[in-house]
Amino acid sequence: MHYPRHDIRIVAESPAVEPILHIRRSFDAPPALLWRAWSQPDSLVAWMGSAVWPAFSVSSDFRVGGAWRTGLKSPETGEELWQGGRYVEIVEPERLAFTFKWEGCDEDGPAAETLVTIEFSETDAGRTTMDFTHAGLKPDNNPDGHRHGWTSAVDRLAAWLVDNPD
């Protein structure tokens, strides 16, 4: 089955329902390489963040219950933003789930702990489909900003996969 470059949706039944961000993307890479991209700090720092807020720091205790933390920095202003959470599910190389929360950033309302779930499925000829879901977003916590940030990060991930085929 072939998927478009991006299948991106923000789903909400009504304004009272929390939006859910879903991104489906197919890559010319095996699941093990995508797993490495998401599980190794030296890989994550190379592609995490958007083009305008790239990561400059990633720390990770990659185990269920372990903490992760990423620093993003604006190249224009030098301003830093931090995000972090805990790993809640690790099934190599098929599924990864972790909590997500902005640190000290409440311009869109109080930061809420949300849940990111990523599933990898091998398709044909070494291709992998990644299903990314970010749930628990609050309507007043800028779901469109999360959509833009994650879409840009997934584009950066695709470029990283091309540059790191092994």
Express each pLDDT in 97-154 by its tens digit. 999 999 986 655 567 899 999 999 999 888 999 999 999 987 766 778 889 999 999 9
Mean pLDDT of the chain: 88
Is residue 31 in some structural domain?
yes
Query: Does any domain span residue 78?
Result: yes
Which residues contact residue 62 at a Cβ distance below 8 angstroms, ignoring those fewer than 6 apart?
39, 68, 87, 90
Half-sphere exposure in the Cβ direction for 90 (13 Å, CA):
13
* CATH code of 46's domain: 3.30.530.20
pTM across the whole model: 0.87
* 70-76 long-range Cβ contacts below 8 angstroms, 24+ apart: 70/44, 70/45, 72/48, 76/52
- DSSP character at residue 1: -
For 86-95, how does the pLDDT look when each residue is reduced to its tens digit (9 = 90+)? 999 999 999 9
Q: Provide the domain count of the chain.
A: 1
Residue 43 lies in a domain: yes
**41-50, 59-68, 96-105, 108-117: lowest mean pLDDT where?**
108-117
Query: Which spans in the chain are helix H?
Result: 31-39, 41-47, 143-163
Task: Write out the residue range of the structural domain in which residue 12 sits.
Answer: 7-163
Q: Quote the CA–CA distance of 115 and 102 in Å, as a whole number.
A: 12
